[in-house]
Amino acid sequence: MQLVLVRTVTGLEHLAAEELADAGHRVVEVSKRQVIVEASPEVVERPPLVADDLFEVYGVAPDPGRTRAGLTAALREAIRSVPIARGAFAVSASFQGPRNFGRYDVEDLVGERIARLTGGRYHSRRYGVAPPEERSDWRVVLDGKTLWVSRRPYAVPLHRRTWRRQTVRGSLHPPVAAAMARLAGLAPGHEVLDPFCGAGTLLLEARALEPRARYAGVDRDPAALEAARANGPEGVKWRRGDARRVDDPVDRILTNPSGTTA
């Protein structure tokens, strides 16, 4: 079992926790924008669709509170053994509540400690210089109760989907689309329609969730359809049409329409 820190969009914490529990992982804690899970190793290959990002936890300590001395001691306690990796890495930190230190102070303390333990090359974000493309990303969270030190097992955040080549104005954030698809209660054999499909985000996330349903996407804008076809060349029937004239018999309509349809 690996302790895993899952980050979410605000409001989707419980849906992500439910998705993780359905996949057989043990949810330990749900808090603001975060779910902590005791996960089996396959969580990395099959991460929750509703998650924004996922990190493997390598250090835990009680949240040290306000002072920098407390922070230094807590980091010493939390970061004892981390995977050896000599490449470049960056650290991103966030915390809640008032502190006598800033996020770059946390990041630099963590970065310097990890560099000492691993021989890796720490890239500080303090000076606004872009980090090297090839790197691993560490995430530190002080949530008011616990200090978490974790590392992303992927090169890019989870919400950056490999299928997404194009977007249109109003395209959904993929984890939000995944959350909508979960709430739709899709089942095998369902006919699912998005009459304002845009670049296809909703149907492509829905198909990842329930591959045994059938999907159709309609949009009146040829550029949107081109984007949808580029994003999902298979598995969804995309067609041009006016939502006001679509009368397909369907089990579910999954959509985020435009403000105007005229």
Ligand X SMILES: C[S@@+](CC[C@H](N)C(=O)[O-])C[C@H]1O[C@@H](n2cnc3c(N)ncnc32)[C@H](O)[C@@H]1O
Nearer to ligand X, 78 or 225 (CB): 225
Q: Could you say whether residue 196 binds ligand X (CB under 6 A)?
A: yes
Based on the shown chain and the rule CB under 6 A, indicate whether residue 224 belongs to the binding site for ligand X. Answer: yes
Q: Name which position in 67, 96, 100, 261 contacts ligand X (CB under 6 A).
A: 261
Distance CA 9, CA 50 (A): 9
Say whether residue 229 binds ligand X (CB under 6 A): no
Residue 230 as a binder of ligand X (CB under 6 A): the answer is: no
Report if residue 237 touches ligand X, rule: CB under 6 A.
no
Cα(215)–Cα(198) distance, integer angstroms:
14
Which of 9, 170, 191, 229 touches ligand X (CB under 6 A)? 170
Spatial separation of the C-alpha atoms in residues 255 and 177, rounded to whole Å: 9
Asked if 220 interacts with ligand X (CB under 6 A), we say yes
**CA atoms of 11 and 170, how far apart (whole Å):** 20
Whichever of 92 and 166 has its CB closer to ligand X, that residue is: 166
Contacts for 259 with CB less than 8 Å, ≥ 6 apart: none
Nearer residue to ligand X within complex by CB, 40 or 166: 166
Distance CA 175, CA 190 (A): 21
Give dist(CA 81, CA 199) in Å, integer: 44
Q: Strand pairing partners for 149? A: 59, 140
Q: Given the complex with ligand X, which of 2 and 256 has the nearer CB atom? A: 256
Binding site for ligand X (CB under 6 A): 168, 170-172, 195-196, 198-199, 201-202, 218-221, 224, 242-244, 256-258, 261
